[in-house]
Structure 1
Amino acid sequence: MHSLLPSTPSPHADHWEWQYLDLMRRIWEEGDERADRTGVGTRSIFGPQLRIDLSDDRVPLLTTKRVYWKAAAREMLWFLSGDTNIRPLLQQGVTIWSDWPLALYRRSTGEEITQEAFERRIVEDAAFATRWGDLGPVYGKQWVDWPTYAPEGNGLFRQGPGINQLELLIDGLRRDPAGRRHIIEGWNVAELHQMALPPCHKTYQFHVSGGRLSCQLYQRSCDVALGLPFNLFGAALLTRMVAAQADLQPGELIWTGGDTHLYLNHAHLVEEQLGRAPSGEPRLRLLRRPETIFDYLFEDFEVPDYHPQGAIRAPVAV
């Protein structure tokens, strides 16, 4: 396959986004072509890593295409709330989780409802949302309410109080910043079968050095074209909030991918994006430090100096 790299490197070749573009090029030109769960097919590699400096309000927002960071920020706040129903997201105009419950609804009822009509019913009909808008115990449920069970006798167990991993994380960072157990885990094996989609960005580990908080995210499965831009911004935002709550400065975001892939029907996106060069350095500002990490509002975030090139649209594989 011919090279898809930009013909002329940017004069700012140290821009973090070249890591992303090089990853995209490597997957598309060298990746193993594989059948996958969605039936679309991918090119895939295993185990890549990106390293991104978060100091001085730096944020990993792509400039070679528009990333809708406001939707990613609202999604992160939804995770922190522990909610698993898409209704609060749709009420804010965020549609990124609609595909999975919509597919289930169509399979279960045989009704070929449009996505717009389905989303409208979720927003307008609370009972319909309860029945069809819930994703199961995904992400936020595990982050703030990991289930526990206590023996009741006769081999039976009753559900105990949930574990708030974020509370434990921030408390642990304050008490023992040198600890090696500062982890948020989403991969609850006992509940995977109940989830609309098992967690892709599954494990966050935090590390303190020199008063700076770094985060390594392990993502077991990564759609590089559509998912990774959201995941990088979300992880950076989470790291910034955790750092503020633990009275630390932001350090580095290290992203590690498991099955890291591009879908075969994203060829137009890949070729167009690899023909662009990064430019500009947007920043992420947190405008206040609330009492807890659960008290942040969308209005607390500001992203100045974000002037990306145009959006490149491609279908989501469900």
Structure 2
Amino acid sequence: MRHPEEQYLDIVRHLLEKGDRRIDRTGVGTLSMFGAMMRFDLSAGDFPVFTTKKVFWKTAVKEMLWFLTGQTNIQSLLRENIRIWTDWPLDKYRKATGEAISQEDFEARILADDAFAETWGDLGPVYGKQWRRWRDAEGREHDQVAGIIDTLKTNPSSRRMLFHAWNVAELDQMALHPCHMTYQFHVAGLGQDDRRPRLSLMVLQRSCDILLGAPFNICQQAALLAMVAQQVDMEPGELIWAGGDVHLYLNHLEQAREQVSRRPYPFPKVRLARKPDSIDAYRIEDFEVSGYVSHDRIDAPVAV
């Protein structure tokens, strides 16, 4: 049986061999393709943490937990030793002030000075804000995630179980426009007495940095599916990932060639150690991951 990670490696190979060379927003340049899909069966407890390079799955899951809080300031992330969002506010601060501050010093100021963090650490109305506090034209806030969980409990055959972050009215206030923008749920096996219903999740990612972004995103989306399935007393089914503009940055080519030369190991398993009272109460300690074996890490710069 073909390893499911080969789907990812096939996309990377396609980009290396046939990607359309493009100038992009960052100025770095990419090899791009339009339209890709991967499917991961999670019903046996597999956790799609890619193995052809080391993926820091705890960091990925912590970011997902942060999204679910609805927060938008990097201070809380830095308190968890997560630095993956620092580049954008740091770049904004340097351009606004002309100060050639190091990332380390900038992060230290964010952690030590709440007023500084409030001014310079906020990312604008990014993912968590839209997921949990979407504001409509009348000023009312909508908790999209809570709405999904309620619908899964009361009307699981609905075709309207989705949430998204592409709030046109607030895009210009965001440090980064949403990449993984639409999450849609589907329930199979309703009315079967011999087993629980199976919950699947499809994610549309309009823009995907295939080397750095995709391994993180796939892992954390699987974690989200596991949490939601547990909250509604269902079994995880499939995670289906669909990419729009899928691209490989031109300064990631050697790293990509190294990764596709490697053979994947079996995916690890994941179980949730407890069932919290709500989707808001999960902690990283609730994720028990076993059997993760990977090749060495592959470092690459982030395009801002």
Same fold (TM over 0.5): yes
Distance of 2:58 and 2:284 partners within structure 1: 8
Render the CA deviation track for 1:81-129: whole Å, top value 9, x for unaligned: 0000000110111000000000000000001111111111111111111
Any conservation in 1 of the 2:32–2:247 contact (CA below 8 Å)? yes
Q: Using structure 2 for the length normalisation, give the TM-score.
A: 0.96
Q: Equivalent residue of 2:152, what SS?
A: helix
2:250 is aligned with 1:264:
yes
CA RMSD of aligned residues (A): 0.8
Superposed counterparts of 1:191-202, under 5 Å: 191-202=170-181
| Residue aligning to 1:95 | 83
| Residue aligning to 1:111 | 99
Distance of 1:278 and 1:127 partners within structure 2: 46
- Residue number among 42, 56, 67 corresponding to 1:54 in the alignment: 42
Q: Which amino acid aligns with 1:132?
A: W
| Residue aligning to 1:6 | none
| Residue aligning to 1:207 | 186
- Residue number among 131, 148, 170 corresponding to 1:169 in the alignment: 148
2:209 is aligned with 1:223:
yes
| Residue aligning to 1:7 | none
How many residues end up aligned between the 2 structures? 297
| Residue aligning to 1:138 | 126
| Residue aligning to 1:9 | none
Give, in angstroms, the shift of residue 212 of structure 1.
0.4
Give, in angstroms, the shift of residue 56 of structure 1.
1.6
- Residue number among 267, 285, 299 corresponding to 1:313 in the alignment: 299
Q: Which amino acid aligns with 1:117?
A: D
| Residue aligning to 1:126 | 114
Any conservation in 1 of the 2:39–2:238 contact (CA below 8 Å)? yes
Give, in angstroms, the shift of residue 28 of structure 1.
1.2
Give, in angstroms, the shift of residue 148 of structure 1.
2.5
Q: Equivalent residue of 2:266, what SS?
A: coil
2:166 is aligned with 1:180:
no
Distance of 2:52 and 2:201 partners within structure 1: 24
Q: Which amino acid aligns with 1:71?
A: T
Distance of 1:81 and 1:281 partners within structure 2: 28
Q: Equivalent residue of 1:87, what SS?
A: helix
| Residue aligning to 2:28 | 40
Render the CA deviation track for 1:62-83: whole Å, top value 9, x for unaligned: 1110011111111111101000
| Residue aligning to 1:253 | 239
Runs of 4+ displaced beyond 2 Å: none
Q: Which amino acid aligns with 1:68?
A: F
Distance of 1:120 and 1:32 partners within structure 2: 40
Distance of 1:78 and 1:55 partners within structure 2: 25
Q: Equivalent residue of 1:48, what SS?
A: strand
Render the CA deviation track for 1:246-296: whole Å, top value 9, x for unaligned: 111000011000000000000121111011000122012111111110111
Render the CA deviation track for 1:155-199: whole Å, top value 9, x for unaligned: xxxx23x11111110010111111000001110000000000010
Render the CA deviation track for 1:33-81: whole Å, top value 9, x for unaligned: 0000000000000111001111121111111100111111111111010
| Residue aligning to 1:4 | none
Distance of 2:7 and 2:299 partners within structure 1: 21
Distance of 1:144 and 1:135 partners within structure 2: 16
Q: Equivalent residue of 1:84, what SS?
A: coil
Q: Equivalent residue of 1:255, what SS?
A: strand
Q: Which amino acid aligns with 2:188?
A: S
2:60 is aligned with 1:72:
yes
Q: Equivalent residue of 1:284, what SS?
A: strand
Any conservation in 1 of the 2:50–2:267 contact (CA below 8 Å)? no
| Residue aligning to 1:81 | 69
Any conservation in 1 of the 2:37–2:242 contact (CA below 8 Å)? yes
